[in-house]
Structure 1
């Protein structure tokens, strides 16, 4: 008899690569998905399952006690004994468990959208300067974005804002040569809160709350940063159009939808 055909053994170390398919409904950008909720309802044929209820399968319950016969005339003839005996020894203190939720928030890793890079022109959506176009300088340790108007163009100073409240545009400025002062960090923008003095007789209307005043250090840093940003804008091929673009306010008119726009 002829020997059976030798079977080919799969090469060791090679594993079948799992094919990762693309989901049917995916994000098109700016939070807009390919199919609506109603469209997916029909695609998945969820209407076939409306009103149908499947009875949950009941698992047989394990008995906690079993009956044992007991000898003797005055012993009752039977006893109920626990299937699982209780522990004989209990610890006096509970074990200390690590709580990962108590890690410091300031040490968390910060993420940033791919479209938000230094030099990108952003549109502010919240705050006192909403609707203005600003230049992104960098991301601070807290995760907030450091932006500037510049101040001479649209009166937006150096300030922080969350990336949730900005729209990243395709307009970019080359600020690779920009050198920010080392003192500009999260602590730089923290305001000093003074405690209210105790009210005494006769001084209710004498003391007035002091309004916030911009410090000389803040003004000097603003001029230094804006000077470098202006130099980068002038190097741009369309510097005049870019200056007009930064000074103009952004807004929506009727029949305009942000998810249909390209910034």
Structure 2
């Protein structure tokens, strides 16, 4: 007798479970882009480190994630990949003429191999004060600056202040009544 009409299972499995035959061999489809989102549209991020920030959408990557940027010089949001479920599309558009973002793919965001630099496990290394910091390469920083420079050039002062402002709901603001 199960709860809510469920069935009791008497078979217990221990250790490794068999592969699910329904999941094997299927290729994940790329998520279809929302109709409001187009290159140059301004999005509001709803989750993550930059939640509440307004960003400019550049393109959809092969993985289905969205490539967005602040631009960094305006509101501090670097080039990022974002799931479109965590975005609100606004009706504001930005001109992307001169921005060369075609070369940026999912591999651009791949982490460097940590195995290349083995850690020193000696006692002296354990108590050393200098830590190996992982930071973005200078090449990526220069590429991002060049890309965002062409975007920021076409922004008016009003649009820059709009991108700088954070989005948040206050009392008596109902999201289903707002027009973005």
Question: TM-score band, normalised by the shorter chain?
Answer: 0.7 to 0.9
Task: From 126, 138, 163, give the equivalent of 1:204.
Answer: 126
After superposition, the CA RMSD in angstroms is 2.2
Compute the displacement of 1:228 (Å): 1.6
Q: Specify the structure having the higher radius of gyration (Cα).
A: 1
Larger relative contact order, structure 1 or 2 (CA cutoff 8 Å, min sep 6): 2
Corresponding residue for residue 163 of structure 1: 84
How many residues are matched?
158
**Kept in 1: contact 2:43–2:57 (CA 8 A):** yes
Compute the displacement of 1:206 (Å): 2.8
Task: From 136, 145, 150, give the equivalent of 1:223.
Answer: 145
Structure 2 residue 172 is matched with structure 1 residue 251: no
> What SS does the aligned partner of 2:24 have?
helix
Task: From 187, 191, 197, give the equivalent of 2:107.
Answer: 187
Unmatched 5+ residue regions in structure 2? 1-20
| Normalised TM-score (structure 1) | 0.54
Pair 255,169 (structure 1): closer, same or farther in 2 beyond 3 Å: same
Unmatched 5+ residue regions in structure 1? 1-97, 234-238
C-alpha separation between the residues in 2 aligned to 1:220 and 1:117? 26
Q: Which has the higher helix share?
A: 2
Pair 117,258 (structure 1): closer, same or farther in 2 beyond 3 Å: same
Task: From 29, 53, 60, give the equivalent of 1:132.
Answer: 53
C-alpha separation between the residues in 2 aligned to 1:145 and 1:111? 11
Corresponding residue for residue 120 of structure 1: 41
Pair 179,203 (structure 1): closer, same or farther in 2 beyond 3 Å: closer
C-alpha separation between the residues in 2 aligned to 1:176 and 1:203? 50
Corresponding residue for residue 213 of structure 1: 135
Compute the displacement of 1:102 (Å): 2.0
